[in-house]
Amino acid sequence: MTRPTQPRLLALLGDPVAHSLSPAMQNAAFQATGLPYVYIAARVERERFGEAVAALRLLEARGANVTAPHKERAAALADRLAPEAERAGSVNTLVFEGGRILGYNTDGAAFCRAVAEVARVDVKGRRVLLLGAGGAARSVAMALAERGVERIHIVNRTPARALDLAARVEALTGVPAAAEEWPDEQGRWQPLLAAHDLVIQATSAGAACPWDALPWDVLPEGALLADLAYAPGGTPFVRAAHRAGRKGLPGEWMLLYQGAEAFRLWTGVEAPLEAMRAALAGAGLFSGAGPSAPSPEPPLF
């Protein structure tokens, strides 16, 4: 790919996006490699997503990242989908190439890489409890199924979305998948947690959930709790995992790895992971080396 001689635009499209650390991470990567790109975050309302993509193309942007609530709309808008994006029905990375919109999804592979390389957990044979059924959850569910998990159980506040995702996982991968409405009573959580050894927080309302009230003690030995979200000091989900004596994987690792793959798709250059991680650390992430069994004073991620 020919490198541009003038700065070329990339954007994160979502609602909200003010909290995102993707601009800091990606612009640090461009500075480290000397590539002439600039990355911004743009708040785009659900009904105006198509207009935003059209505007970026008019400005000869190279592409975009896509976050909630637009990932499924991005899949429908793309002229061509990469296999992982087509299977998930969800896109988090757009590349504008030769007059076409190419859609990719780097979420699932990034999550599995974080589980393998940071948590050092083999997902094969794991029994997965997936909390949420949005765009990122769809990608993660498909990636896990393709890597040999035993089964996936999806709970979501909109049961129809959970049922749709479970049916998609089974149809495309053959991995058994079940779905149900979000449990509102603690007693309904106990059998769910007892039957799964990989619990993934993928809801948009994760910060507001009373995670400490759940019966984490019934989880199987060696269970991993992972969050797709990130926050300086750790998300409430990961902090609750550590307070309960469980191993927790924070979402900044997925952020880093999905961003690195998006960087490669846009530029054709391998991402400078250390520069990207340093930028995120400067914003308060990676306050620990990675997930670990908690001490009486749990580390914050």
Tell me the DSSP string of the chain: -PPPSS-EEEEEEESS-TT--HHHHHHHHHHHHT--EEEEEEE--GGGHHHHHHHHHHTT--EEEE-TT-HHHHHHH-SEE-HHHHHHT--SEEEEETTEEEEE--HHHHHHHHHHHTS----TT-EEEEE--SHHHHHHHHHHHHTT-SEEEEEESSHHHHHHHHHHHHHHH---EEEEEPP-SHHHHHHHHHT-SEEEE--TTGGGS-GGGS-GGGSPTT-EEEES---TT--HHHHHHHHTT-EEE-THHHHHHHHHHHHHHHHSS---HHHHHHHHHHTT---SSS-----SS----
User: Is the CA virtual torsion 280, 282, 287, 290 positive or negative?
Assistant: positive
Q: Is residue 270 part of a domain?
A: yes
Q: Is residue 171 part of a domain?
A: yes
Mark whether 122 and 242 lie in a shared domain. yes
Q: Is residue 114 part of a domain?
A: yes
pLDDT the model gives residue 4: 55
Mark whether 230 and 143 lie in a shared domain. yes
User: Is the CA virtual torsion 292, 293, 299, 301 positive or negative?
Assistant: positive
Domain containing residue 199: CATH number: 3.40.50.720
Mark whether 114 and 244 lie in a shared domain. yes
Mark whether 178 and 208 lie in a shared domain. yes
Q: Looking at this protein, which amino acid is placed at residue 186?
A: Q
Mark whether 88 and 99 lie in a shared domain. yes
Phi and psi at residue 163, to the nearest 5°: -65, -40
Q: State how many domains the chain has.
A: 2
Tens of each residue's pLDDT in the chain, 301 residues:
556 567 899 999 999 999 999 999 999 999 999 999 999 999 999 999 999 999 999 999 999 999 999 999 999 999 999 999 999 999 999 999 999 999 999 999 999 999 999 999 999 999 999 999 999 999 999 999 999 999 999 999 999 999 999 999 999 999 999 999 999 887 899 999 999 999 999 998 777 789 999 999 999 999 999 999 999 989 999 999 999 999 999 999 999 999 999 999 999 999 999 999 999 999 999 875 455 433 332 222 2
pLDDT the model gives residue 185: 81
pLDDT the model gives residue 128: 98
Mark whether 99 and 146 lie in a shared domain. no
53 close to 94: Cβ distance less than 8 angstroms: yes
pLDDT the model gives residue 1: 57
Mark whether 46 and 84 lie in a shared domain. yes
Q: If we measure between CA atoms, which residue out of 300, 136, 301, 286 comes closest to residue 204?
A: 136
Q: Is residue 291 part of a domain?
A: no
| Chain centre distance of CA 77 | 20
Which of the residues 71, 126, 196, 247 is marked catalytic?
71
Mark whether 159 and 236 lie in a shared domain. yes
> What is the pLDDT of the chain when averaged over all its residues?
92
User: How many residues are there in the chain?
Assistant: 301
Active site residue 71: yes
Mark whether 113 and 202 lie in a shared domain. yes
Mark whether 237 and 196 lie in a shared domain. yes
Q: Is residue 292 part of a domain?
A: no
pLDDT the model gives residue 220: 96
Domain of residue 212: give its range.
108-250
Q: Is residue 1 part of a domain?
A: no
289's CB contacts (< 8 A; 6+ apart) are none
- Cβ atoms < 10 Å from Cβ of 119: 20
User: Is the CA virtual torsion 75, 23, 111, 299 positive or negative?
Assistant: negative
Q: Is residue 296 part of a domain?
A: no
pLDDT the model gives residue 2: 58
Mark whether 245 and 112 lie in a shared domain. yes
Mark whether 116 and 178 lie in a shared domain. yes
Tell me the DSSP string of 162-174: HHHHHHHHHHHH-
Domain containing residue 33: CATH number: 3.40.50.10860
pLDDT the model gives residue 138: 96
Q: Is residue 34 part of a domain?
A: yes
- Cβ atoms < 10 Å from Cβ of 105: 34
